[in-house]
Amino acid sequence: MKLKNKVAVVTGAGSGMGKAMANLFAKEGAKVVAADINQAGIDGTVSEIKKNGGEALGIKVDVTKNDEVKKMIDAAIAAYGSLDILVNNAGIMDNVEPVGNLSDEQWDRVLGINLKGPFLACRAAVGIMLKQKNGGVIVNNASVGGLFGARGGAAYVVSKHGLVGLTKNIASTYGRQGGNIRANCIATGAVNTNIGSAMTHPDALGLAAMGDTGAMKTADPMEIARVALFLASDDSSFVNGATVTADGGWTAR
């Protein structure tokens, strides 16, 4: 059991990759705090974990609100006494709007969830992990949109590039310079989740810019969860500040 007695907070745990991560982490021995804005999704994830003999706590959270993020971290400490792993998985797509067609509202919404949310959670988690002898691990779920310019609209691409940068800054500051905190991120490709539901009216110019992106396959969420498990466990003890691309070869072309 690779995460035996570890305490893990997973955002976006009500569905998709977050749900898969929460279930897999619990199977590997972690005590999981499953966080999401969707209460029904949280309840379903927690129920599955407990049904399979795991330990979990569900908490509803809007990751863009600092007080709610702090309550999420505090809940983990209150219930289990430590915070060993933080997975920032919650995220949304945009409507592939290029910058000239992008509204203030869409920019704020996408950046709020995809970048501000992880920042708030990392800030709260680092404060706890620095006090712990064993430090902690942060896993940020980015995207191939954080590596290239045409894997989403301007807001999405900026948010994911920012998340990659945030990850590297945390790793270099709190890993290399002291604190025993590792931070890595996953650059996912096409995954079978409901994240695309945010794409209500895809922008024609944005879609044209993306062109034939050549995705070779769509991943099952558990395939990404296994990457997250590697990064969260001691198997990756010498991996810090890395971006692990998990896209089925999409960007290898």
> Which whole number is the average pLDDT over 116-125?
98
Residue 174 has what pLDDT? 94
pLDDT value at 184 more than 90 = yes
pLDDT tier, 249 (very low <50, low <70, confident <90, very high otherwise):
confident
Please state which of the ranges 61-70, 94-103, 135-144 shows the lowest mean pLDDT.
Answer: 94-103
Distance in angstroms (rounded) separating the CA atoms of residues 155 and 207: 14
Residue 60 has what pLDDT? 98
How remote is the C-alpha of 137 from its chain's centroid? Answer: 13
Name the CATH topology of 7-252: Rossmann fold (3.40.50)
Residue 194 has what pLDDT? 65
Residues 6 or more apart whose CB falls under 8 angstroms from that of 185 comprise 139, 140, 141, 142, 146, 163, 164, 167, 242, 243, 244
Please state which of the ranges 58-72, 78-92, 107-121, 192-206 shows the lowest mean pLDDT.
Answer: 192-206
Residue 200 has what pLDDT? 67
Of 25, 80, 107, 156, the active-site residue reads: 156
pLDDT value at 106 more than 60 = yes
pLDDT tier, 95 (very low <50, low <70, confident <90, very high otherwise):
confident
pLDDT tier, 253 (very low <50, low <70, confident <90, very high otherwise):
confident
Q: How many CB atoms lie within 10 A of CB 44?
A: 18
Residue 152 has what pLDDT? 85
Residue 177 has what pLDDT? 63
pLDDT value at 158 more than 80 = yes
pLDDT in tens, 199-239: 667 656 556 566 665 556 789 999 999 999 999 999 999 99
Residue 209 has what pLDDT? 65
Residue 116 has what pLDDT? 98
Q: With pLDDT > 90 as the criterion, what percentage of the chain qualifies?
A: 77
Q: Is 80 a catalytic residue?
A: no
Shortest CA distance to 91 belongs to which of 181, 160, 29? Answer: 160
Shortest CA distance to 89 belongs to which of 19, 28, 29, 158? Answer: 19
Residue 207 has what pLDDT? 60
Mean pLDDT of the chain: 92
Q: With pLDDT > 70 as the criterion, what percentage of the chain qualifies?
A: 90
Contact (CB, 8 A) for 69 and 63: yes
Distance in angstroms (rounded) separating the CA atoms of residues 1 and 207: 43
Residue 149 has what pLDDT? 78
Contact (CB, 8 A) for 84 and 29: no
pLDDT value at 56 more than 70 = yes
Distance in angstroms (rounded) separating the CA atoms of residues 40 and 43: 5
Residue 214 has what pLDDT? 56
pLDDT tier, 193 (very low <50, low <70, confident <90, very high otherwise):
confident
Shortest CA distance to 119 belongs to which of 86, 147, 96? Answer: 86
Residue 217 has what pLDDT? 77
Instruction: Spell out the alpha helix ranges (H) of 36-87.
Output: 39-51, 66-80
Distance in angstroms (rounded) separating the CA atoms of residues 24 and 43: 16
